[in-house]
Structure 1
Amino acid sequence: MQERYSRQMLFEPIGEEGQRRIMNSAVLIVGMGALGTVLANHMVRAGVGRVRIVDRDFVEMSNLQRQLLYDEEDAKNVYPKVVAAEIKLRKINSSIAIEAIVSDVTGANIEALMEGMDLVLDGTDNFRTRFLLNDACFRSGIPFIYGGAVGSRGMSAVFVPGVTPCLRCFIQSADTAGETCDMIGVIAPVVDIAASYEAVEALKLLAGDNSSRKNSLVTFDLWQNRYYEMKFGEPDRNCPCCQLQLYPALQGHEEDMLTMCGRDSVQFAGNGPLDLSLWQGRLDGALLKVKANPYLLRAEMPGGERLVLFADGRVLVQGTDDFSRARTLYDRYVGT
């Protein structure tokens, strides 16, 4: 410990005691895209004892501009992001526990994913998942650190159950259309800064320095040289999460289908695990061009769309965001 984390321990607010706390901590990072890869890099290098990473997606060439744990070989092999990230992270710090889970994060599994965690870090790219994390954290009493990046703008905040308002006090609905990286792009330095805001707040909490926690929602625009800080006030009295304790994202049934905003893709939840070797034979038999690895297989269809089958049962139909077209292709090749 003395050598590896010496510079971090020389920083007085952490010191030896803070470093011990960090090493005995566990964090969940949901999403291993641009934000998530920066977060994981910082948590692993800081010596967080247990880092659990969860993501549903795989590495593509368009990720390499900003998702710093991946390379061209990962994209060529169509590795799931958490698998490629785990390989890199273990080379960075072999002394900690890294858990990589290829999965969508849903109301059905979020509590199991959070079990044993000290805080949850937001590496996602959509408010549907952020509200799920927010509600689950406030129901379980676990701090949630929010972050986002799009274009040249970034934002971050720390939400602590029983102490601060929650995300819903600032943003009431996940249904409103918003700009995403896939729509207007993003520059990598914004991602680094937004995730670093998250990471430093995580280290404050893990080291036990709650008095230094930022009590505001920070937004900035690097290109336009703007910075804005919204101080936390009292929670919204009608907030369905932190005040009324209804936790709407945790209620009801999971959607069978969802569009992946800006990705020209529709995801199907599926009905359970898939035997990928069996499905490779079936899709080969349907005269589709199939590429497979132990975690997923990708098949090109005659119309130009692609099927991506995951071992956990999820199926992506890529090349369309039309539900009807996606359902037709899903039913034709995979079934109900």
Structure 2
Amino acid sequence: MVDKSKSRRYQKHILLPQIGPEGQRKLSQSSVVVIGCGGLGCTLALYLVRSGVARIVLVDRDCVELDNLHRQVLFTEKDVRLGLPKAIAAAKHLQEANSEVEIIPMVKDVTVDNIEDIIKGVDLVLDGTDNFETRFLINDACYKHQIPWVYAGVASTSGMVMPILPGKTPCFRCFLPQPPVPGDVPTCESVGVWGPAVGVISSFQVSEALKILLGCSSEVLMGIANFDIWSGEWEVFSLLRNPECPTCGQKNYEFLQKGMLRMTSLCGQEAIQVSPVQKTSLDLSSLAEQLRPQGKVVFNKYVVKLEVPPYEFYVFRDGRTIIKGTSEESKARQLLARYIGL
């Protein structure tokens, strides 16, 4: 049963027949990792904390910026002025909302070297990321350790949600067998993002997450939900498990072995070269058109150059990218996800 001193806080939850005292007790014994504290992650963490989930780990590599505030609902102008890391700022505001839960902020980049330690022992992982490299890592790590997770993504006015329960549903690689090539998938930088769309998608995502924590797996979405918040249109697509899937079919966990990208510091330069592990051949003309809204673009048949001061990006036909203006791998990953879409 729920402690009487806590029952008043959660009484409107407890009144729901889907939850009741036993369901609230389950939430009070659950642990969740939220990877990414941006637009999605803020709302995810907000409802986890206010729902009484016992232990919430917040992981993010970035700091709060002014252009975050229209959709990242936990942050304030003061956080921007102080230059606070998102995980730290989020934890502070969330703890003020519920002092009874444990909130653990981690200011770090999620990589092949640390993801298994980050998710160790938790009941659920939530995707609040902005890049496919991390999502493929999450998928492999969660399937390997039999931890459910919920994918979501938003760009422009639409987004999608997909719960993944190892052994019960298709995994992320059944949906997307290989990482998209640069320019194939729109980013918030290239097409913008509608604030309410982030709120709706993340609310649906955290609702699916809470159902999983409550043990209501039969009530969880089996497929992919796609919403366009502007038009009001939504669809649910069914998806079958692929017996040849490298993750849930063959259990190879390729991304835990090598990741998606190789990083190399260029000697004598403030620059990082990023090389995809998977071979690819880009349509540079299409990529150039995708990148034009973000800055000055120059391209020829060999390379696309994007200038976003103080950074320069050189994207080659084989997918290799040189980022000038930083010598930090974590910053290079952030910039690549933000501007190129990986």
TM interval, short-chain normalised: 0.7 to 0.9
Secondary structure at the aligned position of 1:255 is classed as strand
8 Å Cα contact 1:266-1:321 kept in structure 2: no
Partner of 1:168: 173
Q: Which residue of 2 aligns with 1:261?
A: none
Q: Please tell me whether residue 137 in structure 1 is matched to residue 135 in structure 2.
A: no
Q: Which residue in the other structure is 1:212 paired with? A: 219
Structure 2 counterpart SS, 1:99 = strand
- Residue matched to 1:57: 62
1:108 aligns with 2:100: no
Higher mean alpha-carbon deviation, 215-224 vs 20-29, is at 215-224
Quote the residue 1:330 is aligned against.
Answer: 327
| Residues 273-327 of structure 1: per-residue CA shift (max 9 Å, x gap) | xxxxxxxxxxxxxxxxxxxxxxxxxxxxxx995xxxxxxxxxxxx5333455627
The answer to whether the 8 A contact 2:152-2:161 is kept is yes
Matches within 5 A, 1:107-126: 107-126=112-131
Cα 1:244–1:70 change in 2 (3 A) is same
Aligned to 2:312: 320
What is the one-letter code of the residue matched to 2:171? C
Query: Residue 143 of structure 1 contacts residue 161 of structure 1 at CA under 8 Å; is this kept in 2?
Result: yes
Which of the residues 235, 241, 244 maps onto 2:247?
241
- Alignment CA distance shift 1:228-1:324 (3 Å): closer
Tell whether 2:76 aligns with 1:71. Answer: yes
**1:44 pairs with 2:42:** no
In structure 2, distance between residues paired with 1:135 and 1:76 = 37
Whole-angstrom CA distance in 1 between matches of 2:54 and 2:323: 46
Tell me, in whole angstroms, the C-alpha distance in 2 between the residues paired with 1:325 and 1:98. Answer: 35
Aligned residues: 278
Identity %: 38
Shift of 1:252: 2.2
Residue pairs, 1:26-41, within 5 angstroms? 26-41=31-46
In the alignment, the residues of structure 1 paired with residue 323 and residue 221 of structure 2 have an alpha-carbon distance, to the nearest angstrom, of: 46
Indicate whether 1:197 and 2:194 are aligned: no
- The CA deviation string for residues 121-165 of structure 1, in whole angstroms up to 9 with x for no partner, is 010111111111011100110001011111011100111111111
Structure 2: distance between partners of 1:217 and 1:97: 31
Look up the SS of the partner of 2:7 in the other structure. Answer: coil
Match of 1:282 in 2: none
The residue number in structure 2 matching 1:283 is none
Contact 1:120/1:145 (<8 A) preserved: yes
Structure 1, 52-61 or 248-257: larger mean CA deviation: 248-257
- Give unmatched runs, 5+ long, in structure 2: 1-5, 275-306, 315-320, 329-342
After superposing the two structures, state which structure 1 stretch, 246-255 or 199-208, moved more: 246-255
Query: 1:320 is paired with a residue of what secondary structure?
Result: strand
Q: Would the alpha carbon gap of residues 266 and 123 (structure 1) be closer, same or farther in structure 2, given more than 3 Å must change?
A: farther
Query: Is contact 2:32-2:124 (8 Å) kept?
Result: yes
TM-score by length of 2: 0.77
Aligned partner of 2:87 in structure 1 is: 82
User: In the superposition, relative to structure 1, how do residues 256 and 122 fare at CA in structure 2: closer, same or farther (>3 Å)?
Assistant: same
**Contact 1:219–1:227 (CA under 8 A) maintained in structure 2:** yes
Q: Secondary structure at the match of 2:225?
A: strand
Report the alpha carbon displacement of residue 238 of structure 1 after superposing the two structures with TM: 1.6
Please name the residue that 1:178 is paired with: 185
Q: Deviations over 1:16-74 (max 9, x none)?
A: 00000001000000000000000000000000000000000011000001000111111
CA deviations over 1:190-237 (Å, ceiling 9, x no partner): 11111111111111111122221111200011222221111233x112
**Larger displacement relative to structure 2 (101-110 or 318-327):** 318-327
Which secondary structure does the structure 2 equivalent of 1:75 belong to? helix
- Which consecutive unaligned segments of at least 5 residues does structure 1 have? 259-264, 270-302, 306-317, 332-336
| 2:228 paired residue number | 221
CA offset digits 1:99-118 (Å, max 9, x no partner): 00000001110011001210
Q: How far apart in 2 are the matches of 1:218 and 1:147?
A: 9
Q: 2:163 aligns to what? A: 158
TM-score (normalised: structure 1): 0.78
Query: Take 2:47 and 2:203, find their aligned partners in 1: how far apart are those partners?
Result: 8
1:45 and 1:224 mapped to 2: Cα distance? 30
